[in-house]
Structures are given as structure tokens and as C-alpha cells.
A and B are shown apart, each in its own frame.
Chain A
């Protein structure tokens, strides 16, 4: 099946700093790739997705580009805010006969200080 390796944290930044969270994947074919975010005390929310190679997903100032050559989907934001403090998960379909299942990275805890 497919798998994902995510940069582990925690990551601590000051407000307005640049953020990168690395994510690389192993997959059969070219599945969609996702970033989910989990704010404190809440469930996972879709942050952005990309459905094919070279696609760029973007939302709330976050971006990630589907790189087939490097099998990567790194999350970036140019200027983080305190409200971005959360856990970020890279994910993709598990593949094979795993109907509908997503495989998640371990999650990266981001803390942004004023």
C-alpha cells in the first residue's frame, strides 16, 4: 500500500516567520494528496489537496505542490500567525484493497508565539 513520511516536530516559530513542513510519499499511481489540520480540541479539517502532479493546493495562505519527481508534498506558509498553532497531517489514500482509507503521517505540532 501507499505510505507517507512526515517531518516530525514539534515546530516552534515566531509570528510572521516562514513555515515549511516536509512530507514525502510512496504510492502506486498518482493518488490525490492531502494536508489536514487539527486545532486544539477539534477534529481534523481538510486544509488543502492536490489531485495530480504539479497541482498546487492552497488555502488560508498555506500552499503545497504535488511533486512527482521528488514524491513530495511539502506544506508552506509565508507568514504564520498565532492562530495557525495546530497539528498538521499529510495524508494520501492507502491504496490496494483499502477502500476509502487514508494513510496519515505522524503529524507535526506547530506552535506560533506572538
Chain B
């Protein structure tokens, strides 16, 4: 089954304790992205990756790191989490990394990771 998986689905942690949220897709997609969803703010992009070893910042990258060592995986790393990073996180992927992306590739989303930082 074609899908984007995320782990863990739920996580409670404390300020400053490094954590990683994994994301994996089995559709051979080139483009992957992380979003966070917050009440009243909607979905905002954190980082994206156009291909292996190619990553760039989205709208709200502060406090986050990513890596893309393999095409299928795109982990989100919080080196020193803070309470303002409490949120619902979604990983997404799409087939193309077309830089002239006006046409609009369908993005496929993972089930989400709900993070609480105390």
C-alpha cells in the first residue's frame, strides 16, 4: 500500500531533550516536506527536500533540523525542544521536484505526530 508513515504518533517530552520524528514513504517520491499545524495558524511548512542531500528551509525552520540521506526517509530533529514546539506535525511527499512547480503536484500526507513539550 502506497503510504507515508510517521513515528511516533504521540510524544510527550521535556524541554531540552533531543528527539527525532521519523518519516518514510514507499512511493519513490522525490519531494518531501514537514508541516506543523497549530490552532488559528493553519499549516505551516518547516523544511522541505527536493531530493537526496537537498534540503531547504520553509516558513518556520527555527529550532528544527532535517536530513535526507535516503530517498524514502526524511526525519525531523528537534535538538532542544521548547514548549512553543508543542504542535501536530505532518510529513508529506510528492512525486516531482519540479522547480517550476506551478502546476501543482498532489501531496500525500502522513497520519501526523502529536508532540507535547513540557
Question: Which candidate, A9-17, A41-49, A74-82, is the interface stretch facing chain B?
Answer: A41-49
Which residues of A have CB within 8 Å of B61? Answer: none
**A32 and B112 form a contact (CB under 8 A):** no
Which residues of A have CB within 8 Å of B104? Answer: 31-34, 49, 51, 92-93
Please encode chain A, from 61 to 96, with 1 for each CB lying within 8 Å of some chain B CB and 0 for all others: 000000000000000000000000000010011010
| Closest chain B residue, CB of each to CB of A102 | B107
Q: Which single member of A28, A89, A100 contacts B97 (CB below 8 Å)?
A: A100
**A99 and B111 form a contact (CB under 8 A):** no
| Majority secondary structure of chain A interface residues (helix, strand, loop or mixed) | loop
Which residues of A have CB within 8 Å of B105? Answer: 100
How far is it, in angstroms, between the C-alpha of A55 and the C-alpha of B24 when the chains are bound? 33
Which residues of B have CB within 8 Å of A45? Answer: 109
How far is it, in angstroms, between the C-alpha of A101 and the C-alpha of B47 when the chains are bound? 10
Q: Which single member of B42, B102, B108 contacts A93 (CB below 8 Å)?
A: B102
Shortest CB distance A30–B (Å): 8
**A43 and B90 form a contact (CB under 8 A):** yes
How far is it, in angstroms, between the C-alpha of A32 and the C-alpha of B94 when the chains are bound? 14
A interface, how many residues as a size bin? 20 to 34
Which residues of A have CB within 8 Å of B110? Answer: 43
Which residues of B have CB within 8 Å of A28? Answer: 102
Q: Contacts A42-B112, A44-B109; is A105 near B94 (CB within 8 Å)?
A: no
Shortest CB distance A109–B (Å): 11
A-B pairs with the 8 shortest C-beta distances? A32-B104, A43-B109, A44-B109, A43-B111, A104-B43, A100-B31, A93-B104, A43-B112
Sample of 18 A–B contacts (CB below 8 Å): A33-B104, A44-B43, A44-B109, A49-B104, A49-B106, A93-B101, A95-B102, A99-B48, A99-B56, A99-B101, A100-B33, A100-B97, A101-B48, A101-B58, A101-B59, A102-B43, A104-B43, A107-B42
Known: A99-B99, A100-B94, A105-B42. 17 other contacts (CB 8 A): A31-B104, A34-B106, A42-B112, A43-B90, A43-B109, A45-B109, A89-B42, A89-B43, A93-B102, A98-B45, A99-B56, A99-B101, A100-B50, A100-B97, A100-B101, A101-B59, A104-B42
